[in-house]
Structures are given as C-alpha cells and as structure tokens.
Amino acid sequence: MKFSLTWLKDHLETDASAQDISDALNRIGLEVEGLDDPAERLDGFCVAEVLTAQKHPDADKLQVLTVDTGEGDPLQVVCGAPNARAGMKGVLGLPGAVVPANGMELRKSAIRGVESNGMMCSVRELELGDEHDGIIELPADAPVGESFARYQGTSPVFDVAITPNRPDCMGVYGIARDLAAAGIGKLKRIAMPDFAESGESAPTIRTDDPEGCPAFYGRTITGVHNGASPDWLKQRLLSAGQKPISLIVDLTNYLMLAYGRPAHAYDLAKLDGAVVARRAKQGEQFTALNEKTYTLDDSMTVIADDQGVHDIAGIMGGLGSGCGPDTTDVLLEIAYFDPERIGTTGRKLGLASDARTRFERGVDPAFLDDGMDLLTGLIVELAGGTASAIARAGSPPTAPMVVAFDPALTQQLGGVTIAEDDQRRILTALDFAVSDDWQVTVPLRRHDIEGPADLVEEVVRIHGLDNIASVALPRAEGVARPTASREQQQERRLRRAAAARGLNEAVTWSFLPLSQAEHFAADGQHLWVLENPISEDMKAMQPSLIPGLLSAAKRNADRGTDSSRLFEIGRRYFRAKDGSSNEKPTLGIVLAGHRKARGWQNGKAQGFDAYDAKAEAMALLGEAGAPVQNLMVMGEAGAQFHPGQSGTLRLGPKNVLARFGALHPATLAAFDMDGPVMAVELFLDAIPVPKGKSGFARSAYAPPALQPVTRDFAFLFDADKPAADLLRAVKSADKQAITDARIFDVFAGQGVADGKVSIAVEVTLQPGEKSFTDDELKAVSDKIVAAAAKQDAELRG
C-alpha cells in the first residue's frame, strides 16, 4: 500500500521525518518496502514565467519563448505546446535535469537552428497525470524561480507491505492509529462532515442474500457536478498509484484508501427499480468496469436492479452504470460482504481489485454509517448536490469478541518485560477496551484477534520488535549430534546425484487442476480436494509429481527450449479411508525433447526413450540405498504410461520402488504436449532401510590387489522374456567371485531359431587373495551356465 507523508499527516499530528516514520513502521511490524521522494526526480525543474512567444522561423508548430527563471537573464526555449503564450507561468526543466517520464537528460541544443535552453514541461512528462496536450499552467501568483517540487509541496511516498491479517491497516488512518500508539505523534480524530439531508425519501434497496451481504446501505445525492478532482485529491491518489478519473469516482477511491472502506457510486439515471443484493443466476453475464465480460454462477453475490447485474459485490462495478462526466444524480452504496464469499468469487472469475483485497480480508463492520456520511460530505462539498436519508437493509455483525488476558503472558510468550500500565496504554491506544480485571473487548475491525496470544503480539509489536533481545537457544557441551534425519539425508543425496546426472531441479506447486489430479490418480485413491483453493487451477493436492513437471516442460517448450531434463523431490498427497492426510515422499523426473541434438556424427536429433528413463531410475535408486541388484523389472506402470514402453522396478512382486517409461499419448494430449515424453517416479517411502544403518556413510575405498577377469557367454533365450531375468541369474551364480555382468550384444536372425534371441553377456570375475586357476574359472563358468539354464537359457555352441 502506498501513501504520501502529506496524506499521513492529514490523520497524524507529528514532526517526525519520513525516515523516522519508516523506521517506526518497521519496528511495529508494518514492513516498509520502499520510501521514495518524488522531489528528487523533480530536481532541476522550477517555476518560470513566459515573457514573449514568437513563431519559430523554420517550423509551423513550434514557438520560440523567452522565459524568466528569476535568476539572471531570461532564457530562450523552443516549445511546441499549443497553449504556450506570453504572460503564463509554467514549469521549466533546466539543462542537466532528467525528465521523469522517459529518463531523458535535458541539454542546451539547437532545434531547427534555434538555440533552446531546456524544456517547458507537461503533466505527463513530470508523471503527475496523463494530460499532455499542453504544458503545465500555474496560477498567476506562483513564485518565479522557486523549485517546482517545493512549490507543489511534493511529499515522500511510503510503500508498506500489509500482511493479510491486518486489513485494519489497509487505509492511511489505520496506519496513523498504529503510529500514534507507538508514540510517533498524535492521532487526529475523524472530523465528521456537517450537511443537511434534503428530506427526500431514501432509495429502495434490499438484501436478498443475507449470508453473502448481511448489510447493504444506500443514499442518493441529486444535482451533483462530476468534474475534475481538486489538486489535493489528485496528489493523494497519485501517491497511492491510483489514476484520477472523475470527482465522484476519485472520492470513492479516496474513502477506500484513507479509511479502508470500499464504496461504490452508481449513475442513478442508469438504474431501474429497486437495487438489490442477491445471488447471481446460473450463467448470468456481466460486463465490468475493466470492459471484460464475466459469466457468473449462483454461488456469487451481485448488486442488481430490474435490468440485471450492475456490480460483482465487493469486487468490481459494472460498465453500464458507472459515473461519467454527464452524471448528475448518484446512488452511493456501502455494504458489508462475507469475506469468504468475496474470496471465492474473485478466484473463480480470476478478478482482482483493491476492493476485493479489503473485503476478503474483512473490513470494519462498524464503519458503514460513518463511511457513508464521510463520502456524502465530501461529494456535497466538492460536487454540490443534496443528499437523501440513508436506506439500510440488513445489519452488520455487531457482537465484539471479549478476551480474558493475563499481562504475564507478554513475558512468557513475547520474551520481553513490559509494565502492566504500558500494556494497558498500548491496547487502549489501539481502541481495545480494557476492564480492571483485564477483560479485553476487541474492536470489530480486528478480525485477526482470536485469543490472548494475539493480544501479546499487539503489545510486543507496538513496544517495538527490535526491543526484543536476541537470545541464543541453549546448547549442550561438546560436539552437536547430527540433526538431519535419514529421510533428509536421502533427499539431499538424491538432489546432488540427480543434478550430477545433468537433470535440472524444478519446484512446482503442490496443487493441480482437478482434471489433472484425476488423470494421475490410481484406482481406489482418494484425492485431497480443497474447499477454499487459491484458484480453480489449484484445487486438488497432487497425487503425483509428474503433472507439475509436465506443465513445466510444456512452458519450456512453448518458449523454444528443445530439451527438458527436470526432476523434483516432493510429496504425493492422498486422503486415507479414515479421512486423515497421507503424504508420500517421491522423486519425479520428466525427460522431454531431444536427448542429443543433431550433429554431423549422429545426423538427426535423437529423442529420449524408455531405456533412458530406466537408467535414471536405476541410478537414483542406487543413490537412495535401494538394493538395485535385486530389483525385478515388471509391467503395470499405470494407465498414464504407454503399456509397451514402460515398467516398474520392484523388490518382490508387490513392493514397487519406481515406475518409468514413455507416457501414454492420452496423457500427452491432456497436457497439450508433443511426444514422446519419458517420466520416472521413485517412491522413496518404499525403499527399505538397510538393517543396522541409519545414514549413508560409505566405507573407505579399497581397490582389489589383483586384476579382474572377464568371460563372455552367449545364450539362446526366449524373445518374449525380460533379459533382466537372465542377467540377474548370471550375477547370482557365484556371488563371491562375480562382481558384475552386463549385456553387450543382442542378435536375432540367421542361425537363431524363431522365438529366440541370442544374448551376449560379459561377466566380470574378481579374484581375492590369489589369481584364479583354470579349474576355478571352469567351475564358475559351469555355475553360470547352470544358473542360466534355470531361466530356460541355452549356451550357444
């Protein structure tokens, strides 16, 4: 939230500097993200008077001005503004000044052969508004030669980050209240306007949706003049980053920014019949002030008349009933809307506004009448007109919370000693009512206060967060024990290993669109579906890490990336039968695009295949501590995978450690991706913990003293059987002598019977204390042939 020091001083009587106020805001928990002084950007711009204005000799649309700056001889300036004339006063940018709008540094130069010593400036060039048809015209009494920043009263601007639990500080007055409680000045009480009601009957309004709109107040003002806003109002709105529109609209924005109270003004001539807060009709359409059309449903609260919807309640008004230059009669609306309803509607429509930001966090339900009178008084004073009585439909929440408070909790929870009288003073300054026995009545606007701990926070932050001493946690003598659990060690190890293999880590949302979550949910799994999601695209907790990685890979591809090698370590979420949460640690991988770019050696670019996915799975399972030598390759990777190009890695027939392979074309179509795309999921919770081991410490590497021996074998094997079964049998033939076995050739064709395939296996034998003898090598070979025969493999002659 942005506001100027001048605006703050409308509500806070203080002599503190902008920097002192900034420090105080940080001290009381209102983080200042920026403190900007516009006067610095206006350095080099001064009030100047045009003495003469003559036509440029070589340009029809330019004039040559002589300008008095109050110092020395008049300066010659070339100007193209149509309103430049002798006798007017404006703003002159001198050589060396930098134009705020475009960063251009002004210099003495020749324009069409005529020397120009600076530039007469427009409102847009100084970022004071959008007007650019001519140069700024100042009043006749403007002091020539004075700095324009000083003349205008330019004020420093604060940019404060308001946390979602502090809607009471989403107005300048609320921030002033906190500063006053912290001793930075004195809070000025709100001066209520004095105006006479016309005696006209109140407008016909009602609320047909008391749950979404418990209170709906309205008043008409007739005979207004909706012109331009005065300078003081424009300056305050501009300091907040708001664009001035028209007087009526600007005053509603001013009320919201000054007091945190959104309001809306309708052109009364554009309304027909009673104005009603009701539920939208299913499929009803509405064109908002942003000129976009929205389709509503019956869960949304709207403001409507006999013609249709004129306002998405608490979020944005309609284009058809907004106030314009011709507006003479207005209907003012101030209401209290259910925060949850506002948030849900805004997320469904993807529609954000300043009003929504305040309503969904909770506005002050006790400020409806005062807010209406403040807005009415400003309009009557500045735009004229006569006001009717207030019409009230429904009533806002009025029952305040009372919290039993023990001042000793401040020391216990906050870690700082504050005298009871000071605690009472702080709470009272924040408008809490404190009885003698410390029963604290909470202001209705403080929706964040739920118990004594919240009151401790209020006392401590106003006392000053930087007044809390930093105290180190107690630590036992000696060397600290490792604090990382085995699961944390495992994830760190996997993260390093995946990165070392050339994979890039991604961090995606744990939420998915419901359709994607359902696509990746296995049979019988119950999804976690959120009742109050961030948006409709983040409604379900992820049952798999693959959807998030697929979305990331698609974004990469859409931006021209030809290869994505992504991994993520996260959680899969399920709902157990008893309704409890079920989280499963998982590592996901997606390989999309080119595995190897095109080149003179390999020709066309090569894509990833299922063997690449399997290699990643095996390597990372090994790093995770899984006994990869005992893994079985089986099918049933899931309906999301291509049935002929995928598989699972298991310890036994039921314990699935990973699934890998090519994704099914239907899965790729659901994510609007071109294939093939490979994916891997490692189920870290399924990896057994080695007995007697709590970590991943390795023994020192001790290379064998003797050289290994290799022997090659060629077996005839059934073509429809997994070669991994044969390889596993060969490795287990003699676990002491055999250290490795790998397939180096596969052949089918002449000399090999139909239905068979020739598989060549290289076996590595490692001698121990002495070299193998011929008899020992033959004995091992016989064991290998016998083990292969149990898998129906026959040694080729």
- H or E segment and range at residue 12: strand 12-13
pLDDT at position 66 is: 95
The region, left, alpha or beta by phi > 0 then psi within -120 to 50, assigned to residue 524 is left
Distance set, CA 374 to CA 178, 189, 472 (Å): 22, 13, 51
Mean pLDDT (the chain) is: 91
Which of 37-41, 59-63, 447-451, 756-760 has the weakest average pLDDT?
A: 37-41
pLDDT at position 551 is: 94
Spatial separation of the C-alpha atoms in residues 241 and 36, rounded to whole Å: 13
pTM of the model: 0.68
pLDDT at position 395 is: 93
Half-sphere exposure of 234 (CA within 13 A, CB side): 17
pLDDT at position 690 is: 74
DSSP 70-135: SSSSPEEEEE--TT--TT-EEEEEPTT-B-TTT-PBP--EEETTEEE-SEE--TTTTTS-S--SS-
**709-795: CATH architecture:** 2-Layer Sandwich (3.30)
How is residue 236 written in tokens? 């305050």
Residue 782 has pLDDT above 80, yes or no: yes
pLDDT at position 259 is: 96
b/e 563-593 (16+ beta carbons within 10 angstroms → b): bbbbbbbbebbbbeeeeeeeeebbbbbbbbb
For the chain, the structural domain boundaries read: 2-37+156-187, 40-152, 205-394, 402-467, 486-686, 709-795
Residue 131 has pLDDT above 80, yes or no: no
Contact 565, 504 (CB under 8 A): yes
pLDDT at position 21 is: 95
- H or E segment and range at residue 499: helix 486-500
Contact 467, 23 (CB under 8 A): no
Cis omega (within 30 of 0) on the bond before 704?
A: no
HEC secondary structure over 691-727? CCCCCCCCCCCCCCCCCCEEEEEEEEEECCCCHHHHH
Residue 724 has pLDDT above 90, yes or no: no
Contact 18, 5 (CB under 8 A): yes
pLDDT band at 694 (very low <50, low <70, confident <90, very high): low
Contact 264, 252 (CB under 8 A): yes
CB atoms within 10 A of CB 151: 18
Spatial separation of the C-alpha atoms in residues 169 and 397, rounded to whole Å: 20
How is residue 758 written in tokens? 């020739």
Q: Which of 381, 248, 377 is nearest to 324 (CA)?
A: 248
Give the bridge partners for 758, in sequence order: 716, 747
Q: pLDDT tens digits for 526-553? A: 888 888 888 888 889 999 999 999 999 9
Give the bridge partners for 333, in sequence order: 218, 264
In this structure, which amino acid lies at residue 783?
K
Q: Which of 341, 366, 317, 320 is nearest to 217 (CA)?
A: 366
Span 388-393, average pLDDT:
94
Spatial separation of the C-alpha atoms in residues 309 and 322, rounded to whole Å: 12
The listed CATH number (3.30.56.10, 2.60.34.30, 3.90.420.10, 3.30.70.120) that belongs to domain 2-37+156-187: 3.30.56.10
Residue 579 has pLDDT above 70, yes or no: no
Q: Which of 673, 677, 684 is nearest to 660 (CA)?
A: 677
Asked whether the domain spanning 709-795 has the same topology as the one spanning 205-394, the reply is no
pLDDT at position 696 is: 62
Spatial separation of the C-alpha atoms in residues 334 and 314, rounded to whole Å: 10
The verdict on whether residue 448 carries a ligand-binding annotation is yes
Spatial separation of the C-alpha atoms in residues 288 and 305, rounded to whole Å: 15
The verdict on whether residue 458 carries a ligand-binding annotation is yes
Spatial separation of the C-alpha atoms in residues 541 and 571, rounded to whole Å: 10
> What kind of fold does domain 486-686 have according to CATH?
BirA Bifunctional Protein; domain 2 (3.30.930)
pLDDT at position 284 is: 94
Sorted by sequence, the CB contacts under 8 Å of residue 793 that are 6+ apart come out as 715, 716, 717, 726, 729, 759
Spatial separation of the C-alpha atoms in residues 339 and 729, rounded to whole Å: 66
CATH no., domain 205-394: 3.50.40.10
Spatial separation of the C-alpha atoms in residues 285 and 304, rounded to whole Å: 12
CATH no., domain 40-152: 2.40.50.140
Span 4-9, average pLDDT:
94
Residue with tokens 């596993």, as numbered in its chain: 728
Counting residues of the chain whose pLDDT is more than 90, the rounded percentage is 74
The listed CATH number (3.30.56.10, 3.90.1150.10, 3.40.190.10, 3.30.470.20) that belongs to domain 402-467: 3.30.56.10
Distance set, CA 479 to CA 473, 475, 484, 488, 719 (Å): 15, 10, 15, 20, 59
Phi, psi of 727, deg, nearest 5: -65, -40
The verdict on whether residue 454 carries a ligand-binding annotation is yes
Q: Which of 344, 343, 349, 376 is nearest to 362 (CA)?
A: 343
